[in-house]
Structure 1
């Protein structure tokens, strides 16, 4: 079984490459701590401290998930999310913010966020929520299926009875 350094089953993109996460927060210390926890999961992580930088990073990285603060120096996270969804409509977004009013949480989910966590927060909970979001969205798969055979862009995982080509799952009959 493939596990992270934390002992949890490893998650990757369907093509086996590391998940890509963008952390957007104007507090560099918080962004670094959260990024470190996500890198510990084996994920590729970038950070941005404001909305404009977040959108530029997102265009380059094309993240699978974004951890997004609502209160940014140049815009609010809801506006960033709207702009982000024009470029990447299926990206998973977890709001991580000090704005804890029920109205704010509803606004975040209504705006297209997938989850909303308030500060102060548990680092382990944020990682667990991201793992769940990515699994449910089909952006990630758990690497607990054993050895893989790879030829070019064709990947076969015998124990999981799964074959992908260029990251796309190929349906197999029971005989195959």
Structure 2
């Protein structure tokens, strides 16, 4: 079962996304911010991280840097509902190494399709390196 760490400061959205992911047979653990997420990442070692970009107490970029330095094989999805000039920062997440970005609001299907694509890419990479 694919393990996903979901990092989102909005409690309602965090719970709703966790339900969607759980129903899709993902093993999900949640954190309300980067400060809580980083120790969990190091201990639990998820396959994927879905992380909000702008949060009090540990922004998404801090989580991304931690994942890149300690869990380089973990896929990373950055999400944000930022608008205006701040929204351009979401594209910077991709340039800094996020495997995918999601602009809020997104549908459950968009989230699941993104994760399935990343999971398939990871499987392909493992199969290629095993040959």
TM normalised by structure 1 equals 0.66
Distance, in Å, in 1 between the alignment partners of 2:125 and 2:11 is 27
Query: Given the superposition, is the C-alpha separation of residues 106 and 140 from structure 1 closer, same or farther in structure 2, using an over 3 Å criterion?
Result: same
Match of 2:90 in 1: 105
Query: Given the superposition, is the C-alpha separation of residues 139 and 93 from structure 1 closer, same or farther in structure 2, using an over 3 Å criterion?
Result: farther
Match of 2:25 in 1: 42
Distance, in Å, in 2 between the alignment partners of 1:64 and 1:48 is 15
Distance, in Å, in 1 between the alignment partners of 2:80 and 2:67 is 18
Match runs of 1:160-175 below 5 Å: none
Partners of 1:70 and 1:97 within 8 A in 2: yes
RMSD: 2.1
Larger relative helix fraction? 2
Query: Given the superposition, is the C-alpha separation of residues 79 and 46 from structure 1 closer, same or farther in structure 2, using an over 3 Å criterion?
Result: same
Residue 105 of structure 1 deviates from its aligned partner by 2.8
Aligned residues between the structures = 127
Match of 1:126 in 2: 111
Match status 1:136 vs 2:121: yes
> Which ranges of structure 1 fall in alignment gaps of 5 or more residues?
1-17, 142-167, 172-176
Residue 95 of structure 1 deviates from its aligned partner by 1.0
Greater Cα radius of gyration, structure 1 or 2: 1
Match status 1:90 vs 2:78: no
> Which ranges of structure 2 fall in alignment gaps of 5 or more residues?
none
Selected match of 1:65 from 41, 48, 53: 48
Match of 2:61 in 1: 78
Larger relative strand fraction? 1
Partners of 1:64 and 1:139 within 8 A in 2: no
